[in-house]
Amino acid sequence: MLLNASGCLDALTAPETARALDAFVTKTVTPLPRAGNAPIRIVETEAGMLNSIGLANPGRERFLADVLPRLRELGVPIWVSVGGFAAGDYAETCEALDGIAAIELNLSCPNVDAASESAAEIVAACRTATDLPLVAKLSPAAWDVAEHARAVAAEGADGLSLVNTIRGLALDETTLAPRLGTAVGGLSGPALKPIALAAVHACARAVDLPIVGMGGVRTGRDALELLACGASAVALGTVLFSDPEAPVRMRAELAHELAARGLGRPEDVVGIAHEDRLRHRKPLDLARKALV
């Protein structure tokens, strides 16, 4: 199963790219509109890129009234990424959502202040507010991401998205001043891949939830590795910026990688990087029934 990473695709400006995915994940929606951070917001680094977009979005009301109806017309299952600055923010947005495939809780944006509540408390608040599948997006910056995975699983999360970007900084080569307007931003791209693999590997052992793996996926081989670590689905992020046709290419490359290794379907390789093979992995299904 192939998705986009939240904030890495606008289905309304690139509908063909969105239709090539199994589900489209929106940019994070917050209760109030956010202009986002001051420029410069994008910087390429040696093995990745930094962004400090800062959750620019039209806010919950305009998203529900203007954006979501147009997204529904695309004919692609929609996951709405929900963000906020308190557990109540998240829960209110979850309560207002229906007719979508899933909610991804952005618990880990490196570009804005985090809510005072823990990820588990936010998941608990959202669990009471909606019956939609809740996928918790966690940061790889935690010392023990598996502990956070256990905590959100205990509060009723239906899946995990691993990983968000991780905080980084780049300096101008001449002035040695930070290149991003906010100085620090979220690191994505190839530099993130080993970090994502480690997080997926750890969380797959810790919890029995389906995992959407993401972080530095550029090729079918990268997708295969995330599946092998225990992801049931893969999301594309930075690669979409350079190649809007990446979803089509990725499927072809993954099929080629599987065939070249004499492996079967993508779901057959989930968890095979583990010595005990994690055969019990649940598939990621868009219907909540299949998740619980």
How far are the Cα atoms of 51, 57, 81, 82, 159 from residue 33, in angstroms, in the given order?
Answer: 19, 6, 14, 13, 27
Q: Which helix (H) or strand (E) holds 82?
A: strand 78-82
Structure tokens at 239: 């690669």
Eight-class DSSP state of 200: H
Asked if residue 110 binds other proteins (CB under 8 A), the reply is no
| Cβ(97)–Cβ(42) below 8 Å | no
Nearer to other proteins, 22 or 243 (CB): 243
Among 168, 178, 186, 189, interactor with other proteins by CB under 8 A = 189
| Least Å from the CB of residue 270 to other proteins | 28
Question: What is the C-alpha to C-alpha distance for residues 167 and 205, in angstroms, rounded to an integer?
Answer: 25
Asked if residue 175 binds other proteins (CB under 8 A), the reply is no
Nearer to other proteins, 116 or 242 (CB): 242
Among 142, 190, 272, 288, interactor with other proteins by CB under 8 A = 190
Query: Which residues have C-beta within 8 Å of that of residue 271, sequence separation ≥ 6?
Result: 204, 228, 229, 230, 277, 278, 279, 281
Asked if residue 59 binds other proteins (CB under 8 A), the reply is no
Asked if residue 40 binds other proteins (CB under 8 A), the reply is yes
Farthest CA pair distance, the chain: 56
Is 8 annotated as catalytic? no
Segment interacting with other proteins, rule: CB under 8 A, options 36-44, 66-74, 123-131, 254-262 = 36-44
Structure tokens at 204: 């797959």
- At 208, the amino acid letter reads D
User: Which residue from 93, 146, 97, 92 is spatially nearest to 119, judged by alpha carbons?
Assistant: 146
Catalytic residue among 8, 94, 109, 203: 109
Asked if residue 184 binds other proteins (CB under 8 A), the reply is no
3-state SS class at 29 = strand
x/- mask, other proteins, residues 228-267, rule CB under 8 A, reads: ----------x-xxxxxx----------------------
Nearer to other proteins, 56 or 142 (CB): 56
Nearer to other proteins, 189 or 220 (CB): 189
Segment interacting with other proteins, rule: CB under 8 A, options 46-54, 59-67, 148-156, 163-171 = 46-54
Handedness of CA 141, 143, 145, 151 (dihedral sign): negative
Residues near other proteins (CB under 8 A) are 7-10, 12-14, 27, 35-36, 39-44, 47-49, 51, 53, 56, 189-190, 238, 240-245
- Which active-site residues does the annotation give? 109
